[in-house]
Amino acid sequence: MAEFSGKVIEAYFTNNQKDTIAVIWRDDEAKANSEFFVSVEPDGHYFKALLEEIPLEEIEEQTNKRAEVYMQELKRLVKRWSLSEPKDWDPAQIDRMMHNKMSTFIKSFDPKEKSQSETLFRIKLDLFEDERVKNSKNADEKSKLRKAEDPLEAFMAFAVLIGKLGKRTRK
Amino acid sequence: MAARDPLIYDATVNNPRRMTDAEIALSVSYCIYAYAGNPSVTLTVESSATGGSLTGGAITDTRKSAGATSTSNTAFVAEGSTEEPQTVTVSYNRITQTNASISPTADGGRLWPVYLTSGGNIQAMNLTDIKDTFLHPAIDLLVSAFSDKENQGGTYTVGTATTLSNCTLVSSNPIFTDTRADTDEYSSSGIPETADQPTTIGNFFLFKIDQGAEPNLTQDNGCPLFINSDGNLQTFPLADWQGYLTEWIRETASESANNHKIRYVYNQSATQRGSGIVNTILDGSGNYQTRQVSDDYRSQEFPNGSATTAATHKFEIQKH
């Protein structure tokens, strides 16, 4: 006889080693369902008491069912998430958003704005990957590009490095 | 063993006779009842996680924490070089056992009931006889696996909620808390994330088993004969017999010199009391995440995986 005797609702293994069983039982006096963890030991008092309530095969079965329900729930969540994607991703809206962001980035660059400073850093890295910049011998302009503190400085240095700056501007 | 069959006065035949097993069992039950009403071995729950002192403690709760953040100013540190999630260990030994100091009535030679020797003489039992006949069988029941409050009242068990049938919560402070990493709290945008972000999975509480119903021990159905100060045989007054049993069961549980003291331990292959105390943990090998801030490339591995039971601790009772 154990605390859960005659009151077991469900029992399942709690790990792959199958050395512990969680027993869900109804504690009538407390008027609540409670958990009781039983070690799988052939001579253990609680293990023997549990087997009098529910055979090992059924515990196995309930463990598998529980895993199945968990997987189904997981799949349901993934499906719901994937189906919701098109609603969130309206291409036209994204275009408008990107346009606004680019415009703000160039016209009103704020170095304290984390996303803008990250964008500037990524752009500088991309520009350095350009073959024309890589092959350029103009160390001063490369340094200017590296140290550029806003997008316009970076674009200016890039234009010089790839020879695209108009004569008038150069003067 | 020197268990005796004490003599009892049988009013139906107006003669003494040996007590039956049922009559002896009634006094054993009374020992348990009396112990449950005023246990001499008590447990308290300390507020400090390791403020207790049970043998076999401390028991440990483990959980995964995120590995340290790796940073570089050129590229993300690869998964293989980013530190794996680490294991956080919290030790619990919150229970303190106290054995009361008892001064029971001493035996002056005629304190205890009489029995019939093999030679046909009437002789007073000595303390060893009393232990073997009443006290030790009572202790054996008290330290056995929990069956009901009639047999284990006054001893302790463990539950997973703050209420448990036939038991009284000792403290709302749990003796053990099972925790796991809270995976919802970790995100790549937060790198470097705080390494240890736990969530509580379950608590384990200490309970004292309630006193059972009083056994129906009366003057006529279970009080044995003893030799009074005049040298005559007399039936124990009920209150006296109950008083001696009460004093001596408390003394035996608390201070027995014959390996019948009650002791509570963790994981000593003694008699388990109540639910196993599980330590669960996430079993994943790490969720590698990255974040770039300007030329600061950060990577970190968060705890992940399925919950699994890493260890099951046992709260136990034993005589020693």
B161 in contact with A, Cβ within 8 Å: yes
Query: Tokens at residue A86, please?
Result: 């098109």
Look-up of token digits 């350009």: A130
Residues in chain A within 8 Å Cβ distance of B161: 27, 30, 32, 34-35
What chain B residue is nearest to A5 in terms of C-alpha separation?
Answer: B147
Give the H/E segment covering residue A59.
helix A56-88
Closest CB from B157, B160, B292 relative to A34: B160
B263 in contact with A, Cβ within 8 Å: no
Q: Which candidate, A152, A160, A155, places its Cα nearest to that of A136? A: A160
Judge whether residue A21 has pLDDT over 70: yes
Determine, yes or no, domain membership for A26: yes
* Cβ <8 Å between A32 and B274: no
Q: Looking at this predicted complex, what is its ipTM?
A: 0.86
Same domain for A15 and A65?
Answer: yes
CB atoms within 10 A of CB B195: 20
Determine, yes or no, domain membership for A53: yes
Query: Tokens at residue B281, please?
Result: 């943990």
Which positions 46-75 of B are in contact with A (Cβ < 8 Å)?
none
Same domain for A13 and A44?
Answer: yes
Same domain for A54 and A117?
Answer: no
What chain A residue is nearest to B273 in terms of C-alpha separation?
Answer: A46
How many alpha carbons fall within 13 Å on the CB side of residue B308? 13
Question: Is omega for the bond preceding B192 within 30 degrees of 0, making it cis?
Answer: yes
Query: Tokens at residue B175, please?
Result: 């003796």
Q: Answer whether A3's CB lies under 8 Å from A51's CB.
A: no
Judge whether residue A119 has pLDDT over 80: yes
Range of the domain at A33: 8-70
* Amino acid A126: pLDDT: 84
Same domain for A95 and A65?
Answer: no
Strands B41-45, B70-72: parallel, antiparallel or unpaired by DSSP? unpaired
Residues 6+ apart with CB under 8 A from B26: B215, B216, B217, B221, B222
* Amino acid B134: pLDDT: 97
- Taking the C-alpha atoms of residue B208 and residue B158, their distance in angstroms, rounded to an integer, is 9
Query: Tokens at residue B26, please?
Result: 């009634």
Helices (H), chain B: 21-37, 127-130, 136-142, 149-152, 238-255
Determine, yes or no, domain membership for A81: no
* Amino acid B86: pLDDT: 97
Residues in chain A within 8 Å Cβ distance of B271: 45
Closest CB from A16, A37, A118 relative to B278: A37
pLDDT band at A171 (very low <50, low <70, confident <90, very high): low
What chain A residue is nearest to B145 in terms of C-alpha separation?
Answer: A45
Q: Answer whether A54's CB lies under 8 Å from A11's CB.
A: yes
What chain A residue is nearest to B293 in terms of C-alpha separation?
Answer: A118
Render each residue's pLDDT in chain B as its tens digit; 320 residues.
578 999 999 989 999 999 999 999 999 999 999 999 999 999 999 999 999 999 999 999 999 999 999 999 999 999 999 999 999 999 999 999 999 999 999 998 899 999 999 898 999 999 999 999 999 999 999 999 988 889 999 999 999 999 998 999 999 999 999 999 999 999 999 999 999 999 999 999 999 999 999 999 998 889 999 999 999 999 999 999 999 999 999 999 999 999 999 999 999 999 999 999 999 999 999 999 999 888 899 999 999 999 999 999 999 999 99
Closest CB from A34, A39, A122 relative to B161: A34
The average confidence (pLDDT) of chain A is: 85
Q: Answer whether B272's CB lies under 8 Å from B316's CB.
A: yes
Distances from the Cα of A140 to the Cαs of A125, A160, A169, B295, in angstroms? 17, 10, 18, 20
Q: Answer whether B179's CB lies under 8 Å from B199's CB.
A: yes
B104 in contact with A, Cβ within 8 Å: no
For Cα atoms B67, B70, B75, give the angle at the middle one, nearest 5 degrees: 140
Query: Tokens at residue B85, please?
Result: 């999630």
CA dihedral sign, ordered A112, A118, A123, A126: positive
Residues in chain B within 8 Å Cβ distance of A25: none
* Amino acid A83: pLDDT: 67
Q: Answer whether A151's CB lies under 8 Å from A109's CB.
A: yes
Which positions 127-146 of B are in contact with A (Cβ < 8 Å)?
145-146
How distant is the alpha carbon of residue B307 from its chain centre? 28
* Cβ <8 Å between A3 and B308: no
Same domain for A95 and A156?
Answer: yes
Look-up of token digits 């008038």: A168
Determine, yes or no, domain membership for A127: yes
Work out how many domains chain A is built from and give that number.
2
Same domain for A98 and A48?
Answer: no
Determine, yes or no, domain membership for A1: no
Q: Please state whether the predicted TM-score (pTM) of the whole model is above 0.90.
A: no
* Cβ <8 Å between A19 and B202: no
- Taking the C-alpha atoms of residue B7 and residue B191, their distance in angstroms, rounded to an integer, is 81
Determine, yes or no, domain membership for A17: yes
B99 in contact with A, Cβ within 8 Å: no
B203 in contact with A, Cβ within 8 Å: no
- In the three-class reduction of DSSP (H, G, I as helix; E, B as strand; rest coil), residue A143 is classed as helix
- Locate the domains of chain B by residue range: 7-319
Q: How many contacts, defined by CB atoms under 8 Å, are there between A and B?
A: 82
Closest CB from B146, B163, B271 relative to A32: B163
Q: Answer whether B135's CB lies under 8 Å from B31's CB.
A: yes
In single-letter form, the type of residue at position B92 comes to Y
Q: Answer whether B204's CB lies under 8 Å from B175's CB.
A: yes
Distance from CA of A20 to the nearest CA of B (A): 7
- Taking the C-alpha atoms of residue A152 and residue A165, their distance in angstroms, rounded to an integer, is 13
Determine, yes or no, domain membership for A61: yes
Residues in chain A within 8 Å Cβ distance of B275: 3, 35-38
The pLDDT tens digits for A67-116 are: 888 888 878 877 776 666 554 556 666 677 788 888 888 888 888 887 78
Closest CB from B165, B275, B292 relative to A29: B165
Same domain for A14 and A60?
Answer: yes
Determine, yes or no, domain membership for A2: no
What chain B residue is nearest to A112 in terms of C-alpha separation?
Answer: B294
Residues in chain B within 8 Å Cβ distance of A24: none
For Cα atoms B58, B61, B65, give the angle at the middle one, nearest 5 degrees: 135
B294 in contact with A, Cβ within 8 Å: yes
pLDDT band at A19 (very low <50, low <70, confident <90, very high): very high
* Cβ <8 Å between A121 and B277: no
- Highest-confidence segment of A21-25, A71-75, A155-159, B116-120: A21-25
* Amino acid A93: pLDDT: 66
Residues in chain B within 8 Å Cβ distance of A32: 161, 163
* Amino acid B1: pLDDT: 56
B190 in contact with A, Cβ within 8 Å: no
CA dihedral sign, ordered B51, B57, B63, B65: positive
Best B200, B272, B318 member to test A by mutation, with max A CBs in 10 Å, is B272
